[in-house]
Structure 1
Amino acid sequence: MSAMPSVEAHAAELAASLHGPEKVRTRLVDEIREGLADTIAAHTREGEPPEGVFERAVREFGTPAELAPSCQRELTVAQTRRTSLTVALAVPVVLAAWSLAWGASAVALAVGIVGVVLALGTLAATGSVARGLPVPGWLPLVAAWSGTIAGVAVVPTTLALALTSAASWPLVLLASVLAVVAHGVVAGSARTCRRCARLTPA
């Protein structure tokens, strides 16, 4: 097998072992693919025999199994930020829709505020200001379960409010649609975040 197909196989094996935001995953795999190809090219220019250059480059650069843990950590942080941002944006929209259709609910408001505060705290802990500091291993799970709770709570709360609401049906329909959309987006992101957290080495 020539070096370039071997590089593609190396990149494909690494990509298959990673989970998280597709854009970040693609960037990481592309960077590693290009770095490995550059290492092979450098050894080739030095006159090394083609049949051994790929194996030597991999020994220096790392196998997919060796590279995956650090890549997965970065993907988990990226997914944690994505989930937290989703909660921080979606929950206030749902609360606003609830208030518009049914009036403010102290319980819903308290739950929403707690969810948004946790999301904003997570964003701060994983943002550029905190870059270089280790991300606590429990933080992705906190973000994931906060998103899960927020996503699950939205639908039954909306249903209960809709059944007891005296508001006009267009407002109820608008609030319900927003709640269902928010549930899908938040719950899906939280599910991916939980999976990333499980895959990230301690």
Structure 2
Amino acid sequence: MSAPTTDADPIEAHVADLSAALHGPVRVKSRMVTDLRDGLIDAARDLSCGREPDHHAARQAVHEFGTVAEIAPSFQRELTIAQARHTARAVMLIVPFLFLCWYLAETWDGSTGHQLPDLVRLLVAHLGGIAASAAFLAAAALAATGALARWLPTPHQLPLLVAWTGTTAAVALAISALTLTLASILATNWPLSTVAGVVTIAFHTRIAASARACRECARVTLAGP
């Protein structure tokens, strides 16, 4: 049977409550929680005049630092920015692979004297435009949350924009995988197209998961306390 809440370590209880209220990248969140715990322990030790902090000193340190409702928004904002950067970085790194896949498919098939169907080529052109736009927005988001953040405030809606940019890129990758599969059936380079399609689906899954996490973080941040 667990101990009553009043007998629990106030610092550990406070850290656990804050951790449960936050959403974001696991590593960043873990580092933030660890730093908070260390800071509270140091504060409690100071209140105990350098001795090992007792229950009263721990409770006082937690009280002075602030309640979960008071401090969670600032922590969540930082986590949301970190998740937005993670999603934007994934889009920036993965989208160029889509262009490489289509280039290889077109080059390989052209070298054998065959051409991809006009409908497939038209779809590729549209997907390329969508993917290029997503990559451009991702690059802008990385800049806005990186170097530019030193001089300009980060727009509150930016993480949500990054989330939907990631979702758009994920949809483009999913359609591309289906199109590559169709191309592998109609063309002579089916081994290359099939492999590219499988890898594209894997990248789609990664970006889609990151974009979904980014939407969740943005929703929590915009909802406020």
**1:176 pairs with 182, 197, 201, which one?**
197
| 8 Å contact kept, 2:177–2:198 | no
Length-normalised TM-score, structure 1: 0.90
Q: 1:167 to 1:107 in 2, by over 3 A?
A: farther
Q: Which residue of 2 aligns with 1:130?
A: 149
**Aligned mate of 1:117, from 136, 139, 144:** 136
1:139 and 2:143 equivalent? no
- Which stretch has the larger CA shift, 34-43 or 57-66? 57-66
Q: Hey, what's the Cα distance between the residues in 1 that align with 2:127 and 2:194?
A: 18
> Which TM-score applies when normalising by structure 2?
0.81
Whole-angstrom distance in 2 between the partners of 1:130 and 1:84: 15
Q: Structure 2: which 5+ runs fail to align? A: 1-5, 108-120
User: What does the per-residue CA deviation read over 1:125-173, in whole Å, with 9 as the maximum and x for residues that have no partner?
Assistant: 0013423632101100110001011102221233134224414121111
Paired-residue identity, %: 44
* 1:11–1:33 contact (8 Å) kept in structure 2: yes
Is the contact between residue 180 and residue 194 of structure 2 (CA under 8 Å) also seen in structure 1? no
Residue matched to 2:176: 157
Distance 1:35 1:127 in 2: 26
Aligned-partner Cα distance in 1 for 2:58–2:102: 60
Is the 1:101–1:167 Cα contact (8 Å) retained in structure 2? no
The aligned counterpart of 2:215 is: 194
1:89–1:51 Cα change, 3 Å:
closer
2: CA distance between counterparts of 1:132 and 1:76? Answer: 19
Letter in 2 for 1:125: A
Alignment counterpart, residue 52 of structure 1, candidates 53, 56, 59: 56
Q: In 1, are the aligned partners of 2:80 and 2:159 still within 8 Å (CA)?
A: yes
- Does the Cα contact within 8 Å between 2:174 and 2:201 map onto a contact in 1? yes
Map of 2:79 onto structure 1: 75
Structure 2 CA distance, aligned partners of 1:50 and 1:124? Answer: 46
Kept in 1: contact 2:160–2:218 (CA 8 A): yes
How many correspondences in the alignment?
Answer: 200
Q: Which amino acid aligns with 1:89?
A: L
Q: Which letter does structure 1 place at the counterpart of 2:199?
A: L
Quick one: which amino acid aligns to residue 6 of structure 1? Answer: P
Counterpart-to-counterpart distance in 2, 1:131 and 1:19: 24
Residue 34 of structure 2 aligns with an amino acid whose one-letter code is: D
For the residue of structure 2 that corresponds to 1:45, the secondary structure is coil
**Residue in structure 1 matched with residue 20 of structure 2 by the alignment:** 16
Measure the CA separation in 1 of the matches of 2:215 and 2:188: 37
CA contact (8 A) 1:97 1:178 kept: no
Q: 1:144, 1:13 → 2: CA distance?
A: 26
SS in 1 for 2:48: helix
**Structure 1 CA distance for aligned equivalents of residues 152 and 173 of structure 2:** 34
- Picking from 76, 88, 92, the partner of 1:88 is 92
Q: Distance in 2 between matches of 1:77 and 1:92?
A: 23
Opposite residue 140 of structure 1, the aligned amino acid is P
Determine if the alignment matches structure 1 residue 108 to structure 2 residue 127. yes
| 1:35 paired residue number | 39
**Aligned-residue offset at 1:28:** 0.8
**Deviating more after overlay: 143-152 vs 99-108:** 99-108
Q: Distance in 2 between matches of 1:34 and 1:178?
A: 42
